[in-house]
Amino acid sequence: MAGRYRQLMAEFTIAVPSDVLADLRSRLRNTRYTSPSASGWEAGTDPAYLRSLLDYWAHDFDWPAAEARLNGYPQYVERGLHFVHVRRDPTRPPVLLAHGWPSSFIEMLPLAELLDVDVVIPSLPGFLYSELPQGPATRASIAEAFHLLMTETLGYERYFAFGGDIGGVANSWLAAMHPEQLAGLHMIHGPFPADFDAEPITPEEQAFFDAEARYDELDAGYSEIMGTRPDTIAAALADSPAGLAAWIIDKYRAWSDCGGELESRFDKDTLCTILTLYWATECIGTSFRQYLDYPHNSPRPTITVPVAVTLSHEPGMAGFVRSIADRAASDIRHYSSPRRGGHFLAFEEPALIAGELGAFMRSVVDDGDAATLPTPGSTPPPPGHSER
């Protein structure tokens, strides 16, 4: 593996202009709040919590400090794709870490700190500083952008991929399109097959689909809007930091393993950092393209590369059964359900994922030698579909 840049590239530095920050604080201080429709979070983002978060964002949040921390990671923009590239060991295959929605590269930074190989964290096309592709934003087009980044831009011959949600499914397309160069795939949302025609659906599988349908009745409204009327909702969110915050933190609370206490997983500084990046880059509307263009996705072939699955603990994945993943992937080397850490699992439980991902990569590189994956709940070694 080369692990060297094919061409000289300048590092990218996050630098939000002062007038953008001043305008943001002004809008926050002049927020018009809605009256609650129900108690607490029952009807969406709790207006009382939103008020406290926006007050902190306007008066107490230290963006320059957050910006400096982020700029401590080497970042680049090449071929329209923004990415973090942490170089540690060019003698071993690196790993690409891919986030989903409504997330960002920030989700993967705690995990990157615990890995002892080269790490690449791209921002999804249309998110933050990454441009949208030409044509529909399909999972296959994202996968191809990732592959060009890893092979043509960074010069790696083989690499691993980890992710969940949109990024995880894009990585599964990497496995289907480039199995000779993708050494292995680690997912937090079990892969789904192109169809269920090979064998009849089992009672356990049907129970999962029924539970997922019941959950979607309560939670799918956001995706219906973003998939059918994205410009309508984006117009409101792009003009109002309060609306942007409400739209995003609703999902951070609902999908994380926080037991209803959002700040048990994401403190205000983390939330305000994510929100400031979304606001400053004006990317909320372009992040919706993944939903509008979803019908352009074609059925994905069976995944044949080595696969590890560490199931996230979130409502949309409750009851997911191993047999569904087995229909989609022919070489599952590891499958666990630790029952902790939700939709943003790499951020919520970085040590857990570092242990399982690191052991999976070592076992594949060692071609099945005695490397064992830690069991759920054990202490990991030191560093060294429901697609929303």
Q: Which residues contact 245 (CB under 8 A, 6 or more apart)?
A: 45, 50, 53, 54, 57, 271, 275
Q: What is the mean pLDDT of the chain?
A: 92
Q: pLDDT category, 371, cuts 50, 70, 90?
A: very low
The tokens for 125 are: 């096309």
Q: What is the DSSP string of 283-299?
A: -HHHHTHHHHTGGGPPP
pLDDT tens digits, one per residue of 70-91 = 999 999 999 999 999 999 999 9
pLDDT tens digits, one per residue of 144-202 = 999 999 999 999 999 999 999 999 999 999 999 999 999 999 999 999 999 999 899 99
CA–CA separation, 192 vs 356, rounded Å?
21
pLDDT tens digits, one per residue of 250-269 = 999 999 999 999 999 999 99
pLDDT tens digits, one per residue of 277-320 = 999 999 999 999 999 999 999 999 999 999 999 999 999 888 89
CA–CA separation, 247 vs 57, rounded Å?
16
Q: List beta partners, residue 82.
A: 77
Q: Which residues contact 94 (CB under 8 A, 6 or more apart)?
A: 1, 3, 117, 118, 119, 120, 150, 154, 156, 159, 160
Lowest mean pLDDT among 16-20, 193-197, 342-346: 193-197
Q: Give yes or no for residue 377 having a pLDDT over 60.
A: no
Q: Give yes or no for residue 112 having a pLDDT over 70.
A: yes
pLDDT for the residue 369: 40
- Tell me how far apart the 2 most distant CA atoms of the chain are, in Å: 61
pLDDT for the residue 8: 55
What is the radius of gyration, based on Cα positions, of the chain? 20
CA–CA separation, 209 vs 192, rounded Å?
12
CATH class name, domain 74-201+295-365: alpha beta
pLDDT tens digits, one per residue of 37-54 = 999 999 999 999 999 999
The pLDDT of 214-225, averaged and rounded, is: 93
The pLDDT of 113-127, averaged and rounded, is: 98
pLDDT for the residue 3: 45
Q: List beta partners, residue 86.
A: 119
- Residue spans in the chain of domains classed CATH 3.40.50.1820: 74-201+295-365
